[in-house]
Amino acid sequence: MKSTLKRTWAEIDLDALDYNYQTIRSHIGPNTKFLGVVKADAYGHGSVQIASRLQDLGADYLAVSSIDEAMELRFNGITMPILILGHTPKEQVDRLICFNITQAVTCKAKADEYNQEALKYGGTLKVHIKVDTGMSRLGYLCNDEHFDTGVEGIVEACQWPGLQAEGIFTHFAMADEDNPVGREYTHAQFALFQKVIQAVESKWGQRFAIHHCANTGATVDYPETYLDMVRPGLLLYGYGAYAKKWHLKPLMTMKTTVSTIKVYDPGTHVSYGGIYTTDKKTRMGVIPYGYADGFLRSLSNRCQLMSEDGPVQQRGRICMDMAMIDLTDKWHVDVGSEIEIFGPHQSLDDWAALAGTIPYEIVCAISKRVPRYYYQQGKIISKELLLRM
């Protein structure tokens, strides 16, 4: 990566990834497989770097959303098993087989298409069958009156010659809701999933090699759901209440610099719409960090960042490429000074709560023009800029 401008950047701590991986491993035990979710560019952390480290650490599987995400990993040296959780067009089945990528099968129509394309190609597509136990998104419907037809459809897919049904899985909708409703719903989903597995394997006459359903919330709070493999997402990256329960470490620190400082008189309107007006002589800094970088506009005039002299308040409406911060009493902060957006001194979880969202959205929103610096043992080992130069 080469950039002529150090404006705003992310620092990724790979030692924290190692620590989180080993900590989660210690909880799930040696006989449970570990699938690392690296979709959405590893939640904004850089999928190639994160996947490469997980491969070195001994993870068993990776999960992505699309064939493009899978191919990016294959083209960058990732050889371990990869599961695509989302849709892949039937025209891409030959590539799935050629590059040994596992595909989620979510309904009878998809299974039929994939089987036919695999037979045309002269190969076998490895698949994991998705069961809809209550997420109401993707998967074979198997609840109530749909149970028998759902089971029959899954068995049929398992028997088709173009498909190798390695796994079966479901996704919990409320495993991260720590209340009676969430717990009851999760237990009901898990019970239905087990019932489906038993019925399918009995009719099929075979056992799936991998059964999995434990996402982040279930990995921490529902050890009975581990089965053959767990799928930690945000947990792996060290954010959220569940990461705090296991004392995991956040991987990312976001930083920027002060590019300009101006002093305004009382009564000066700041930024678009004039939602902030100075009430005294104000020393205002401009940082090159805006909503095009991932700074949520909903945080305008509401959040604080961290300087070497302590917290600084963001003022006025956040712009596309920059934002303003109040440096009135921060005399050690000058042009070029580093500002921590979130990190060790400024919690991402607190920011998410303030924005009325979840940490996932903030890290996934970090744009491709923000360079990522990868650290190990306190030293930069790699740099990545997604902009084409």
Binding-site positions read: 137, 320
Facing residues of 64 across strands?
A: 84
Q: Which of 6, 120, 262, 272 is catalytic?
A: 272
Query: Residues 6 or more apart from 39 whose CB is under 8 A from it?
Result: 47, 63, 64, 65, 66, 69, 85
- Told to judge if 226 belongs to the known catalytic residues of this protein, a careful annotator would answer no
Q: List, as residue ranges, the binding site for substrate.
A: 137, 320
* Active-site annotation holds for 245: no
Which residue shows structure tokens 């949520």?
296
Q: Note whether 81 and 107 are within 8 A (CB).
A: no
Q: Point out the catalytic residue in the list 39, 130, 255, 330.
A: 39
1: amino acid identity, one letter:
M
Catalytic residue annotation: 39, 272
